[in-house]
Copies of this chain bind each other. A is one copy, B any other.
Amino acid sequence: MVILLTNDDGIFAAGLYALYHQFEAEHKVYVVAPESEQSAVGHALTLSNPLRVKEVYRNGNFYGWAVSGTPADAVKIAVNELLPTRPDLVISGINLGPNVGINVLYSGTVSAATEAAILGIPAVAVSLDTYTNPDYKPAAEFIYKLAPKVSKLNLPPGVCLNINIPALPLEQIKGVALTRQATVPLKDKFEKRVDPRQRVYYWEAEDGFQGQPEPGTDMYALKEGKISITPIHHDLTHYPTLEMLAEKYILF
């Protein structure tokens, strides 16, 4: 297969390299990723600034292209400009930290997969459920086994898979769950501080989620020690409300 790897932690991230290392012997692998960390950029594009592209070498060998933009930029420019051929699969990750629940919306990792899906290419976003001492190998092995199956799933146009993997050895993982995105709200918090020049500033300092995730959701699966796979898409229409409003025809 021809595989495009990208991420939002930046081209030098260990999670991206774990995928590269896993796939490169058996597949044609291209790496196109942001040159710097782009976490929580959501589905941003760089329109007001030019994009720069740099060749990146690793141990003296060509590794890939670093893009001065977001994950969605990286996928767009990879497919439209940089790659000599259209990839069969785009893998975004392995992200350091989970991308579940409402955080999916803020996730650069997921937006790269969504962008690939928009471009009509099978895609998965992969995240590891830990922020510390990550061992990416089990997750990379799981994705390696999954990869050839993704194109056979015949996902509808625009749909990709958001995969979250417990930070455990494969034999300790309790299975694979097909899930929906949890919608429990975050505990929003801002820390107000004063800088050395006596000016106020704020840190966004979310502290987890309010309440417990429901069974069937991505968050619940991780809590149970399972890999969660959520099919996601980019049509934000809320169809039940559309029907409800159409019935009422509001008040215009």
Contacts and interface: CB of A to CB of B under 8 A. Distances in A.
Given A39-B48, A53-B202, A231-B241, 18 more contacts: A40-B45, A42-B43, A42-B44, A51-B201, A51-B202, A52-B200, A52-B202, A76-B188, A76-B190, A81-B190, A114-B236, A119-B188, A152-B251, A155-B241, A176-B250, A179-B242, A229-B245, A232-B236
B105 A250 contact: no
A72 B193 CA distance: 21
Contacts of A45: 40, 42, 106, 204
B50 A240 contact: no
Interface of A: 37, 39-48, 50-53, 72-73, 76-77, 79-81, 102, 104-106, 110-111, 114, 118-120, 149, 152-153, 155-159, 162, 175-176, 178-181, 183, 185-186, 188-190, 192-193, 199-204, 229-242, 245-246, 248-252
Given A80-B189, A190-B77, A51 B203 contact: yes
Contacts of A51: 190, 201-204
A230 B199 CA distance: 41
Closest 3 A/B residue pairs (Cβ): A42-B43, A231-B241, A42-B42
Given A149-B251, A237-B180, A204 B76 contact: yes
Nearest to A241: B231
A183 to B, nearest CB: 6
Number of copies: 2
Name, among A104, A158, A193, A252, the residue most crowded by chain B CB atoms within 10 Å (CB to CB): A252
Given A45-B106, A181-B235, A240 B202 contact: no
A183 B158 contact: yes
Given A42-B111, A77-B202, A237 B241 contact: no
